[in-house]
Amino acid sequence: MPNDTVPRRVTACDACYKRKIKCDRVGRQCNWCLHHDMSCTFSSDLRSKRRRQDSRYLYYTTALTSYKMIYDQP
């Protein structure tokens, strides 16, 4: 697993991102937020799933090492 992955920038507003819907980003307010009379905010943070992949990689690496140690025993 590559460790040099760059987290992608989320282009959806916070409300659309939370609801997992397409954000059109029209003007200062997207159409969904405008229709539901909500404030359309954009977080400046980068959202990434890298942490989950790293823990999975660590789990499989340690499991492989322990199996290798068992296999190499006389």
- Tell me what pLDDT residue 43 has: 83
Q: What angle do CA 15, 48, 55 make, to 5 degrees?
A: 135
Residue of higher predicted confidence among 70 and 5: 70
Structure tokens at 40: 């359309």
Using one digit for the tens of pLDDT, what is the confidence trace for 7-65?
A: 666 689 999 999 999 999 887 899 999 999 999 998 876 555 555 567 788 888 888 88
Token pair of 26 as six digits: 């029209």
Query: What pLDDT is attached to residue 46?
Result: 52
pLDDT of residue 22: 94
Is 1-45 a domain of CATH 4.10.240.10?
yes
> Which of 8, 42, 5 is CA-nearest to residue 27?
42
Q: What is the pLDDT of residue 55?
A: 78
